[in-house]
Amino acid sequence: MFYSLPQRALAVLFILFLSACSGLRLVPAYNPDIVDGINAYHTEMLEFISTMETKRTPISGSYKSEPVTTFYAASDAALGNLVVQAEALEPNDDCASSRVTNLGLGLVTAEVDAVRTELDEALGRDTPALTDADLSTGSCTAIVLKALRANHNSMADLHRLEGKLVKPTSTLLRDLMNDSVRIALTAENAKR
């Protein structure tokens, strides 16, 4: 069987095309450092909440105490570093589901912010909104890490406003943070 010159040229071009695509990745590479960072944060956050719930001394659960402010500052810095790592590893990646995610998050945060506003008015206080984080751009990993960081900062804001983390609040915050960590780990582990 003999192939004509155009058929052979087309076959060579097809092979060259396939070899050029061998470096193409449809899914960004899995990063164990991000997973390790999320897991380290999760462990520290669970220990922190447990400590806040069980300590009964006047300053143990107080937002103004040095161990509490240190935890929030160090954790925020660690989460910020994870966001920067995700953005650096996938600088031009746009999460295909970010529009749907933002629509869903917009509905959820709008509802939560509406409830918070009612509570704030009833209690005469001002709670920061959940919608302050920019979740509109970046890779899926960067977006979920930004959401995790925003939730962490919401936890700090609520702790600051309440002065202490009481059991009902800490239970809700633990659930929120566990869900945030689970989503972030799922986004990164999906790359394996």
| 53 located within any domain | yes
| 2 located within any domain | no
Give the pLDDT score at 138.
Answer: 78
DSSP 8-state class, residue 136: S
| 18 located within any domain | no
Q: What backbone torsions phi and psi does residue 160 show, to the nearest 5 degrees?
A: -60, -45
Give the pLDDT score at 42.
Answer: 97
| 11 located within any domain | no
Per-residue pLDDT in tens (0 to 9) along the chain, 192 residues: 555 555 555 555 555 454 444 444 555 678 899 999 999 999 999 999 988 887 665 555 788 888 899 999 999 999 999 999 998 888 766 666 555 555 555 555 565 566 667 666 665 656 555 545 666 677 888 888 988 998 898 888 888 888 888 778 888 889 989 999 998 999 888 888
**Alpha carbon distance 177, 183 (integer Å):** 10
State pTM to two decimals.
Answer: 0.72
| 23 located within any domain | no
Q: What backbone torsions phi and psi does residue 146 show, to the nearest 5 degrees?
A: -65, -40
| 22 located within any domain | no
Chain position carrying tokens 């998050």: 105
Domain of residue 114, residue span: 30-189
Burial pattern 156-166, b for ≥16 Cβ within 10 A else e, equals bbbbeeeebbe
What are 119's two structure tokens? Answer: 């509570």
Instruction: Specify the number of domains making up the chain.
Output: 1
Chain position carrying tokens 């509490």: 68
Q: What backbone torsions phi and psi does residue 67 show, to the nearest 5 degrees?
A: -65, -35
Give the pLDDT score at 54.
Answer: 78
Give the pLDDT score at 126.
Answer: 61
Q: What is the pLDDT of residues 53-80, one digit of tens each?
A: 876 655 557 888 888 999 999 999 999 9
Task: Report the chain's terminal Cα–Cα distance, integer Å.
Answer: 44
Element (H, E) at 134: none
| 112 located within any domain | yes
SS3 135: coil
| 20 located within any domain | no
